[in-house]
């Protein structure tokens, strides 16, 4: 057994202390943002919803909706700050998302299909919010990305039914339903790194007052509209922007004649510090494992490059040609098959012998526990839904049929974490390129693979780093199996559920 040098022990001790300090500080700050608030689960039919407010608060209701592949936790920066300001927040998971067990349905590319069903679901949540008190509470709407179109259409339907919405806050908005007069009071918040959505917000602003610019408020009788830019952020970062949260609070205060006090409590930096601390703590934990004596030889270039390039070229055309959807989840079934075929080709090129030497159950257990339970629980509480409902477990199991072979092959190809940076990057870029190629070959059915690509990149950056430390200590099999299980879980909780028809 390899011995840990005293210098290495010192480094690991220092890293562990830094990681624990980062975790402690970030948890304290994140819990401070939640302190003094009540969190009450309030399902609306089959739709999971959470009521967030100060005790005995009777402030106006703000219904908060997430974007595509999102969930309630992703909207916490807005939800918590508005609740701290005295608003009654009602956040919910759309069908097919988060912990909502009902899949999305209808035609995704038709306004009369999925959109209409989601608008109806949103209006049920709005009705529940209105009925929280007597007389019925005034309601405002706030949503991100996909939700902006749903909320705009829901506000139009409520207006037509004689129950007008007080205000709409649209973050990263795209909606063909906005007119020169509706919604009557609309705030549009866009990240600096979203040029096309910034143009869409300006177009909506110019419907009211053509000479206005970003940062201006356009008005005419019965209509108020404002477009603002959150600096230094993009489509996801805008959800944690202090500028965006402050603008939303001020807009709602102006709507309801309120004057909120207190500073905006940021959550984004503390979430990053927490997750970074959890990842960093894995390094000294991995070094506490027994070290493998089987250090793999680097794969010869004549095998490495064909193993990287051939599946990237062959799998997309073959996979798209044979693909038959069978899971009630968007593109998860294709991805499982794509990864399994990809891994099979790589294993044939590399040779089976490299997949049969050495195994560490402790390494697999640590990686799975840390990557799913510890990292996942932190994600689920503060950032994004990571705990699946029962209907997603079968999806995760089927994904394992592709993710475990793929991560095993990837771990062997990259030398169990010891490979060069060039080889590690080449292996991951080739996979991402093959998935993008499949999406381009069959856009009607596989366009949602493009949305999965950022999830894969984040997985390689975060879990891939933890897997590299496990691989260096416990070998390729431990890292591959552990990462395969983690990847199946991460994808299984990210894919929106969808039932055709």
pLDDT at residue 419 greater than cutoff 50: yes
Residue after which a domain boundary falls, among 207, 241, 257 = 257
Residue 141 β-bridge partners: 63, 168
Question: Is 290 part of a structural domain of the chain?
Answer: no
- Read off the pLDDT of each residue in 206-234 and give the average, rounded to a whole number: 96
Question: Is 24 part of a structural domain of the chain?
Answer: no
Question: Is 1 part of a structural domain of the chain?
Answer: no
Question: Is 114 part of a structural domain of the chain?
Answer: yes
Q: For residue range 60-97, what is the model confidence (pLDDT) as tens digits?
A: 999 999 999 999 999 999 999 999 999 999 999 999 99
Query: Do 111 and 181 belong to one domain?
Result: yes
Query: Do 466 and 380 belong to one domain?
Result: yes
- pLDDT computed for residue 296 by the predictor: 66
- pLDDT computed for residue 239 by the predictor: 97
- Domain boundaries, position 410: 296-499
Residue 149 pLDDT grade (very low, low, confident, very high; cuts 50, 70, 90): very high
C-alpha to C-alpha distances, 320 to 259, 339, 444, nearest whole angstrom: 56, 13, 11
Query: Do 251 and 318 belong to one domain?
Result: no
Query: Do 492 and 343 belong to one domain?
Result: yes
The three-state DSSP-derived secondary structure of 101-169 is CCCEECCCCCHHHHHHHHHHHHHHHHHHHHCCCCCCCCEEEEEECHHHHHHHHHHHHHHHCCCCCCEEE
Percent of the chain with pLDDT over 70: 97
Query: Do 483 and 369 belong to one domain?
Result: yes
Q: For residue range 442-484, what is the model confidence (pLDDT) as tens digits?
A: 998 999 899 889 889 999 999 999 999 999 999 889 999 999 9
Query: Do 353 and 215 belong to one domain?
Result: no
Percent of the chain with pLDDT over 90: 81
pLDDT at residue 232 greater than cutoff 90: yes
Question: Is 31 part of a structural domain of the chain?
Answer: no
C-alpha to C-alpha distances, 29 to 54, 154, 235, nearest whole angstrom: 18, 35, 24
Question: Is 12 part of a structural domain of the chain?
Answer: no
- pLDDT computed for residue 2 by the predictor: 47
Task: Output the pTM of the full model.
Answer: 0.92
Question: Is 361 part of a structural domain of the chain?
Answer: yes
- pLDDT computed for residue 6 by the predictor: 72
Q: How far apart are the first and last CA of the chain?
A: 59
Q: For residue range 12-71, what is the model confidence (pLDDT) as tens digits?
A: 999 999 999 999 999 999 999 999 999 999 999 999 999 999 998 889 999 999 999 999
Query: Do 487 and 405 belong to one domain?
Result: yes
**How many structural domains comprise the chain?**
2
pLDDT at residue 1 greater than cutoff 60: no
The CATH number of residue 190's host domain is 3.40.50.1820
Sequence-ordered list of residues with C-beta below 8 angstroms from that of 307, at least 6 positions apart, any chain: 299, 345, 346, 349, 350, 409, 413
Question: Is 132 part of a structural domain of the chain?
Answer: yes
Query: In this predicted model, which residue has the larger pLDDT, 499 or 99?
Result: 99
Query: Do 392 and 461 belong to one domain?
Result: yes
Query: Do 210 and 307 belong to one domain?
Result: no
Of the given ranges (1-5, 171-175, 281-285), which has the lowest mean pLDDT? Answer: 1-5
- pLDDT computed for residue 501 by the predictor: 60
Query: Do 248 and 324 belong to one domain?
Result: no
Of the given ranges (126-130, 162-166, 405-409, 474-478), which has the lowest mean pLDDT? Answer: 474-478
Q: For residue range 300-351, what is the model confidence (pLDDT) as tens digits?
A: 999 999 999 999 999 999 999 999 988 888 889 999 999 999 999 999 999 8
Query: Nearest-CA neighbor of 143 among 121, 172, 178?
Result: 172
Residue after which a domain boundary falls, among 200, 235, 257 = 257
- pLDDT computed for residue 5 by the predictor: 65
- Read off the pLDDT of each residue in 126-154 and give the average, rounded to a whole number: 94
3-state secondary structure of 396: helix
- pLDDT computed for residue 222 by the predictor: 94
pLDDT at residue 201 greater than cutoff 80: yes
Query: Do 196 and 307 belong to one domain?
Result: no
Buried b (16+ CB within 10 A) or exposed e, 385-402: bbbbeeebeebbebbbeb
**What are the phi and psi torsion angles at 400 (to 5°)?**
-60, -30
Centre a 10 Å sphere on the Cβ of residue 163 and count the other Cβ atoms it contains: 15
> Average pLDDT of the chain?
93
Residue 273 pLDDT grade (very low, low, confident, very high; cuts 50, 70, 90): very high
Query: Do 424 and 308 belong to one domain?
Result: yes
């Amino acid at each position: 057994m390899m011995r840990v040098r005293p210098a290495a022990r010192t480094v690991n001790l220092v890293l562990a202390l830094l990681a624990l300090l980062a975790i402690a500080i970030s948890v304290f700050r994140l819990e401070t943002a939640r302190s003094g608030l009540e969190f009450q689960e309030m399902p609306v039919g089959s739709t999971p919803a959470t009521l967030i407010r100060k005790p005995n608060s009777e402030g106006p209701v703000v219904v908060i909706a997430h974007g595509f592949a999102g969930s309630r936790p992703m909207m916490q920066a807005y939800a918590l700050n508005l609740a701290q300001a005295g608003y009654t927040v009602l956040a919910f998971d759309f069908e097919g998302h988060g912990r909502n067990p009902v899949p999305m349905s209808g035609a995704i590319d038709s306004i009369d299909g999925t959109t209409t069903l989601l608008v109806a679901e949103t209006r049920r949540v709005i009705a529940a919010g209105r009925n929280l008190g007597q007389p019925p509470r005034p309601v405002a709407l706030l949503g991100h990305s996909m939700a902006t179109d749903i909320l705009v259409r829901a506000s139009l339907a409520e207006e037509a039914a004689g129950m007008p919405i007080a205000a709409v806050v649209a973050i990263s908005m795209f909606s063909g339903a906005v007119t020169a007069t509706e919604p009557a009071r609309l705030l549009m918040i866009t990240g600096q790194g979203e040029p096309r959505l910034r143009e869409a917000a300006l177009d909506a602003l110019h419907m009211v007052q053509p000479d206005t610019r970003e940062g201006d408020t356009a008005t005419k009788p019965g209509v108020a509209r404002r477009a603002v830019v959150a600096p230094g952020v993009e489509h996801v970062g805008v959800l944690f922007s202090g500028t965006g949260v402050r603008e939303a609070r001020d807009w709602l205060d102006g709507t309801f004649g309120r004057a909120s006090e207190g500073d905006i409590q940021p959550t984004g930096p503390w979430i990053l510090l927490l997750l970074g601390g959890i990842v960093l703590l894995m390094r000294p934990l991995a070094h506490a494992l027994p070290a493998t004596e089987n250090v793999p030889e680097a794969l010869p270039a004549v095998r490495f490059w064909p193993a990287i390039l051939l599946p990237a070229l062959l799998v997309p055309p073959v996979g798209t040609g044979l693909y038959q959807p069978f899971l009630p989840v968007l593109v998860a079934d294709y991805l499982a098959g794509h990864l399994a075929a990809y891994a099979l080709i790589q294993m044939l090129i590399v040779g089976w012998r490299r997949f049969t030497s050495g195994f560490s159950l402790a390494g697999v257990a640590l990686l799975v526990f840390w990557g799913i339970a510890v990292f996942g629980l932190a994600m689920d509480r503060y950032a994004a839904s990571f705990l699946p409902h029962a209907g997603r477990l079968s999806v995760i199991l089927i994904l394992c049929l592709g993710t475990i072979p793929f991560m095993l092959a990837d771990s062997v190809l990259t030398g169990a974490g010891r490979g060069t940076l060039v080889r590690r990057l080449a292996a991951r870029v080739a996979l991402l390129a093959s998935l993008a190629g499949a999406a381009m070959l069959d856009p009607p059915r596989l366009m949602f693979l493009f949305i999965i690509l950022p999830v894969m990149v984040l997985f390689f950056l975060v879990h891939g780093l933890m897997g590299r430390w496990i691989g260096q200590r416990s070998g390729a099999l431990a890292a591959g199996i552990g990462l395969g299980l983690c990847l199946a879980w991460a994808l299984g909780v990210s894919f929106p559920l969808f039932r055709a028809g």
